Amino acid sequence: MKRFAVIALACAGVLSAQVAKQANSTYQTEDGRKSVAKGLADPARDEKQKPLELVQAMGLGRGMTVADVGTGIGYMLPFLSRAVGRQGHVIGEDIFDDFLASAKQRAENQNLQNVAFVKGTETDPNLPEGQVDQVLVLDVYHHFDYPEKMLAGIHKALKPGGKLVIVEYYKSQDAMPNGRALTHIRLNKPDVIKEIEANHFRLVSEREHVPGSQYMLILERN
pLDDT at 15: 46
Q: What is the pLDDT of residues 20-55, one digit of tens each?
A: 555 666 666 766 675 665 566 677 778 888 999 999
User: Cβ-count burial of 66 within 10 angstroms (0-12 exposed, 13-18 middle, 19+ buried)?
Assistant: buried
In the chain, % of residues over pLDDT 90:
78
Residue 13 has pLDDT above 80, yes or no: no
CA gap 109, 74 in Å, rounded: 12
pLDDT at 191: 98
Q: Are 116 and 92 in contact (CB under 8 A)?
A: yes
Q: What is the pLDDT of residues 125-134, one digit of tens each?
A: 999 999 999 9
CA angle 32, 34, 38 (to 5 degrees): 120
Residue 2 has pLDDT above 60, yes or no: no
- Which CATH number applies to 2-221: 3.40.50.150, 3.30.465.10, 3.40.50.460, 3.50.50.60? 3.40.50.150
Q: What is the average per-residue pLDDT within 181-204?
A: 97
Give long-range contacts, CB 8 A cutoff, 24+ apart: 23-31: 23/142, 23/143, 23/184, 23/185, 23/186, 24/143, 24/145, 27/96, 27/143, 30/98
